[in-house]
Every structure is written in structure tokens, then in C-alpha cells.
Amino acid sequence: MASSTEPTETSGGHSGRLASRLRRERVSSYWFAGAGYFAIALFGLIVLTLVYQSLPLLSEFSIVQMLTSSQWDPAQQEFGFLPAIVGTIYVTILSMAMGTPIAILAAIYIAEFAEGRTKTLVSSFIDVLAAIPSVIFGLVALIVVVPFVGDYLAPAVGSSATGLGIFTVSLVMAIVVTPFMISLSVESLESLPDELRESSLGVGATQWETIRSVLLRAAGPGIFSAVLLGFGRVFGATIVPAMLIGGQTQIPDSLFATGQTLPTLIVNDFGELMSLPLTQSALIFVGLTLVIVVWLFNFSAMYVRKRLKRRWQY
């Protein structure tokens, strides 16, 4: 009797454990799906709140009128966002133009040329730079970069400036985002299989030809993602531009002129002007504009990244 019931009990215990594991996996999948839907719902709630709070302004002024007007005077109910838009575009393009080549070259050096203690030392310093709060960069820039730009660099090119302005912000933001782009680009290059390098070197290519024609193409989507992260950080940067751009709502007539960006427009006017309903609505509309631009950019970048992966796959 004992020998006839034992297999049945063992089989029943195994079925029970299997059912329990399947039940836990099913519950886990519900939690994961719930977390994903929560993120979508949170994004939708933020957008709806911004749209609702922007309605008083949108009922008084047209979007085209606000985006193309250069007059920003909340006391006179003039809400022209063009100076802040131009300032944001200047700072973003100039920062990325200065930071991206340095980030890619530094990543190539660390991933393909540096060895031993040198590689460890350089990588650790880059990680430390990436971890420093951006407000520290702003403080150091006020002491070092602003006087240098105002006293030496701007006069050298025939411009008079105090040192605060578009160029100073762009230079500092390039320094802020470059460590992030370097770290991510190094990870992309080091994740490539050694067979790629060996195959290219084996057919007679030099190390530089291998890097340029094989490795950069294979790691292209990862490097592209690193540049996108840098772009997003510069576009939405607040504290460094607020400290260094000068806070003048005007269209800059030179790279050394003072100006304004969309995030600093919110920061500078948020406190004292939020008691005015129309001004509050205008600042919230600026936030809505930032969210829409970043979302559109990320959506476009996702599409481009997928195309690059298909085209440059190895």
C-alpha cells in the first residue's frame, strides 16, 4: 500500500509547487504591467494639469502670437516667448557642439587606447565629474569662467561683456554633460565583441581604420543615445543657466550677450509673479512647451535609434 501511494504524493507536491510558481509569476506580471500603466497615467496627469492651467492664457492669446513675440512684460500682459526660445536653442546647440566631439574622442581613448592604471585613473575622474552637482559647476564658473570671459575672451574677439551670457552658460553646460556622454559611449564601445576588432585587424586594417569604419558604426546607436541624453540635460537645465545667463529677456545679438532660457524664465519669475493668474498660466504654459518638445524629441530619437540599429547591426 505504501509503495502505491508514495508516487502519487510526490507528484501532487510537485504539481503544487509548479502551480505556486505560476501563480507568483502571474502576480509579478500584473505588478510589472501596473507599474508601466502607472507611468503612462502619471505622464498623462501631468500633461492634463499643465494644459488645464494653461487655458486662461490660451483663451487670451494665440500660440503663434506668443511664440513669435519678443515682448515679455507680465505687468503689461505681454507674453512673448521668442527670446527664451532663441536663448534655449543657442545654449543647447553651442553646448552640444562643444561637448560631443570631446566626449566621443575621450571615449575612444579610454575604450581603445588607455590601459592599466591610466585607464582606471581617467575613468574614475570622469565618474567623479559626472557625480558633482551642477550647482558646484555654476559656483566655480562664477569665480573662474565669468571673469575670464568678461576680461579676456570677449574683448579678444571685439565684444564687450560682463562674462555672464550665452557663451558662458554653453561652455559650462558642455563641461557638465560631457562626463555623462563619455561614460555611456565607453560602455557602448567596450560592449562590442573582440571578434570585430580581430576580424578588421586581420584583413590588414590599422587600428584607427578599425575604430572609424567598424567600431564607431557598431557602437553608433549607443553613442547616439549618449548624445541624446546630453541634449536632454542641456535643454532642461535650470540651475546653471539661472546662475550664469544674466536673466535678461531679450533676443541675444551675440554669443556673449545675456539672455534667457525657457527653464530660467520659470525660475526667475515663479515666486513674485505667481500671484497674478495670467502670469501663472503663462509660466505653466512654458512648462507645457518644455514637456512637449522633450517628448517629441525623445520619440523622434527612438525612431532614429531603431533605424541606426537595423542599418549598423553587426
- pLDDT tens by residue, 5-49: 455 555 666 777 888 888 888 888 889 889 889 999 998 999 999
Q: Is the pLDDT of residue 314 over 50?
A: yes
118: left (phi over 0), alpha (psi -120 to 50) or beta: alpha
Model pLDDT for residues 79-131, shown as the tens digit of each residue: 888 999 999 999 999 999 999 999 999 999 999 898 888 889 998 999 888 88
pLDDT band at 313 (very low <50, low <70, confident <90, very high): low
**What integer is the mean pLDDT of 232-255?**
87
Q: Kindly give the interhelix angle for 134-143 and 166-190, rounded to the nearest 10 degrees.
A: 140
pLDDT at 274: 64
pLDDT at 1: 44
Model pLDDT for residues 149-162, shown as the tens digit of each residue: 989 988 888 887 88
CATH number at residue 170: 1.10.3720.10
User: Which ranges of 132-219 would DSSP assign to H, the alpha helix?
Assistant: 134-143, 145-148, 154-156, 166-190, 194-202, 207-210, 216-218
pLDDT at 115: 87
Of residues 305 and 186, more confidence is placed in 186
pLDDT band at 52 (very low <50, low <70, confident <90, very high): very high
Angstrom distances, CA of residue 62 to CA of 55, 164, 211: 11, 33, 51
Residues 241, 266 contacting (CB under 8 angstroms):
no
Q: Is residue 302 part of a domain?
A: yes
Q: Is residue 120 part of a domain?
A: yes
pTM, entire model = 0.82
Q: Is residue 117 part of a domain?
A: yes
Tell me the pLDDT of the chain averaged across its residues: 85
204: left (phi over 0), alpha (psi -120 to 50) or beta: left
Q: Is residue 35 part of a domain?
A: no
pLDDT at 224: 86
**What integer is the mean pLDDT of 236-244?**
88
- pLDDT above 90 as % of the chain: 25
DSSP state of 259: B
Distance from C-alpha of 188 to C-alpha of 308, rounded to nearest angstrom: 14
The 10 Å Cβ neighbour count of residue 253 is: 9
Kindly give the pairing relationship between strand 78-79 and strand 72-73: antiparallel
The domain tally of the chain equals 1
Model pLDDT for residues 72-81, shown as the tens digit of each residue: 888 788 888 8
Q: Is residue 33 part of a domain?
A: no
Nearest to 314 by CA among 218, 188, 224: 218
Q: Is the pLDDT of residue 212 over 70?
A: yes
Q: Is the pLDDT of residue 70 over 60?
A: yes
**What integer is the mean pLDDT of 132-154?**
91
Q: Is residue 20 part of a domain?
A: no
pLDDT at 172: 94
pLDDT band at 2 (very low <50, low <70, confident <90, very high): very low
**What integer is the mean pLDDT of 281-308?**
82
**What integer is the mean pLDDT of 199-224?**
86
Q: Is residue 37 part of a domain?
A: no
Residues 57, 285 contacting (CB under 8 angstroms):
yes
Full residue range of the structural domain in which residue 261 is found: 64-312
Residue 150 amino acid letter: G
Q: Is residue 174 part of a domain?
A: yes
pLDDT at 94: 94
